[in-house]
Chain A
Amino acid sequence: MVRPLRPTIELARITMQGSFAGVRGIGLVIGAYLPTVVLAGVVAGGTSGAELVGMYENLTLLLFFPLVLLLLTLLLGIPLFRDEIDRESLSYLLTRGLGKPFLVLGKYLGYLGAALVLLLPPVALTFGVVSVWGNPPAGSLDGVLPALLAATTLGAVAYGAFFLVLGMVSRNALLYGLLYAFVWEYLIGGLSGIAPDLSVMHYLLSIPTFWVSTGPLATYATKLSLAQAAAAPCIFAVALLILAILAFRERGFVASPD
């Protein structure tokens, strides 16, 4: 049996490379920097101070998390196995020395690398635009950057695992992924009772409340502790990756019969 560490890293590398290949890569980068461009436009238009900070936090809640984060992780995660199946290139990986669990892990790590490279710099850059040129009130942005970086990372971890499984098991993964993103994640979190606990977004939006003291990010309604908010997306991801490995070991995948 092949020692899996180096081959897994190599698979992660080529997965990352493939994620940014072609027109799709350009589209992903444009999508990731959209909030940055919007905020920069707002700053250039003369908005500043507390009004800008409020707008920035609302944009993060209404545009970045539910749209940019979800969509980009969907577009990165679903093709991990779906493209291999549809392109019928899975055979190249299956006739190598790397076992199936490490194929799943390698794909996921490649996704995670691509997702973090894609998502974290714009988060930092947007924060930079607001804090450097937006003349924010003193203390109004305290804790915002680490909170957003943490929430984005956990979101990438959780959503990536979900979309990897979806792409592996469903031919209509894109449709179901969009339904999940815009119906389940977007709407469920707005309901009362235990419904929000069933959405990953609820845990992500809870995280800034522990670091940010003012503004929309601080006032998101949650009963979770920081440990719960951070652990749940990780547990969700681990469970889904185990499911992916089991599915990969138990069933075959082809685009169509002969």
Chain B
Amino acid sequence: MSAPPPVIEARNATKRYGEVLGLNGFTASFGRGITGLVGPNGAGKSTLFRVLTGQLRLDAGQIAILGRDTWNAQGRDPRVGFCPDHPGLYDWMTPENFVRSLLVLDGFPEAEARDRTRKALDTVEMWPYRDRKIRTFSKGMRQRVKVAQAIAHDPPLLLLDEPLNGMDPVGRAALLTLFARLAREGRHLVVSSHVLHEVERLTPEIVMISNGRALAQGDVHRIRDLLDQFPHTIEIETTTPRELARRLADHPDVTSLRFSGTNGLTIQTSRPDDFYQGLPEVALQEGIQILGVRSLDDNLEAVFRLLAR
């Protein structure tokens, strides 16, 4: 059985702002469920979202959402929900009016627009503030309003550009729970962030972007495993670091080591699986107590640093 088609497919997508390349031959596909879009500031994440939402037209290449070109696609299925990263909202409106008006622009009858508005604001816990003007809101409250308008019309695809910006820890956790629920209900989400551990909490499927290009895509752990050319860094906590260092200095799987803190030893190895397998035997033979072992590379930040080199 063939794999389902990607939700978003980009091929050599290029977008210039004068001499600045926002997207530079960006080629990637975003599958079903939740995909994280990660990259540093200025990587092209927001440019990609602007193209996906029809604000910008590509200078070259193609981008399609479920087979539909993104330019001049207003009113055509599939619909998209977009939560932008910037704080701009219609400040003179209340959140109830704002969300309801956008639903009317979507063609919903008045009564249904009101119902959906209530449901969306309730979901992001903003219904109690429905009558306050948006200009009186904190950053976190504005963020919730943005999420509310993005989900109110039940779009099959949600594009969320730094959706957790300005949120307190409780709010972040609530939104992460919401995003996971939406994905379980069958929606597709693309979530961009530079807060890498939060993307990792949400999904292992990522697309990494830098300087307008896709660096890598897929499962973050598999991406890391593929980078065998780069040594893995492992931190070992032990009561006797000097004895362990003496034993590991000539170990065939260890390329370098250094002391870190009072009880730590940081080693680099290009064969992490072999090293992990052999470490217990070394510890047993020498009577060395190992308190903890931690890979410093098997996360997005490390993978990104390596790929961006």
Interface residues of A (CB under 8 A from B): 1-3, 6-7, 10-11, 13-14, 17-18, 21-22, 87-100, 103, 249-254, 256-258
Contact = CB atoms under 8 A, between A and B. Distances in A.
Given A252-B55, A254-B50, A258-B45, A97 B105 contact: yes
B75 A92 contact: no
A25 to B, nearest CB: 9
A14 B89 CA distance: 13
A97 B75 contact: yes
B165 to A, nearest CB: 14
B107 interface: yes
Contacts, number: 104
A98 B56 CA distance: 17
Nearest to B83: A91
A2 B106 contact: yes
Q: Please classify the interface of chain B as helix (H, G, I), strand (E, B), loop, or mixed, using the class held by over half of its residues.
A: loop
Contacts of A98: 74-75, 105-107
22 contacts: A6-B104, A17-B92, A18-B90, A21-B92, A87-B86, A88-B84, A91-B82, A92-B82, A92-B149, A94-B54, A97-B75, A98-B74, A98-B75, A100-B74, A249-B72, A250-B57, A251-B57, A252-B50, A254-B56, A257-B17, A257-B47, A258-B47
Interface string B29-54: 00000000000011111110010011
B92 A7 contact: no
Contact of A7 (B50, B80, B91, B106): B106
A89 B105 contact: no
Q: Which 5 A-B pairs have the closest CB atoms?
A: A21-B92, A2-B107, A252-B56, A87-B88, A96-B105
B92 A258 contact: no
Given A6-B107, A95-B80, 5 more contacts: A91-B53, A95-B74, A100-B74, A254-B17, A256-B17
B76 interface: yes
Contacts of B79: 95, 97
Contacts of B82: 91-92, 95
A94 B92 contact: no
B293 interface: no
Residue from B75, B91, B93 with most neighbouring chain A CB atoms (10 Å): B75
A10 B53 CA distance: 21
B22 interface: yes
A155 B55 CA distance: 31
A18 to B, nearest CB: 6
B107 A90 contact: no
B41 A97 contact: no
Interface string B16-31: 0100101000000000
Given A2-B75, A10-B101, A88-B86, A94 B46 contact: no
B288 interface: no
Contacts of A251: 57
Residue from B41, B43, B45, B88 with most neighbouring chain A CB atoms (10 Å): B88
Contacts of B17: 254, 256-257
A96 B22 contact: no
Contacts of B54: 94-95
Nearest to A3: B107
Interface size class of B (residues with CB under 8 A): 35 or more
A258 B89 contact: no
Interface in B51-108: 53-57, 72, 74-76, 79-82, 84, 86, 88-93, 97, 101-102, 104-107
B78 to A, nearest CB: 11
Given A7-B104, A95-B80, A257-B17, A90 B92 contact: no
B75 A14 contact: no
A88 to B, nearest CB: 4
A99 to B, nearest CB: 5
Contacts of A94: 53-55, 74
A129 B90 CA distance: 38
Residue from A1, A90, A97, A254 with most neighbouring chain B CB atoms (10 Å): A97
B75 A91 contact: no
Nearest to B106: A97
B46 A92 contact: no
Given A88-B86, A254-B50, A257-B22, A97 B55 contact: no
A254 to B, nearest CB: 6
Contact of A95 (B44, B81, B93): B81
A70 to B, nearest CB: 25
B93 A89 contact: no
Nearest to B43: A258
Contacts of B41: 258
B107 A97 contact: yes
B75 A95 contact: no
Contacts of B93: 14, 17
A71 B56 CA distance: 31
Contacts of B91: 21
Contacts of A88: 84, 86, 88
Nearest to A10: B104
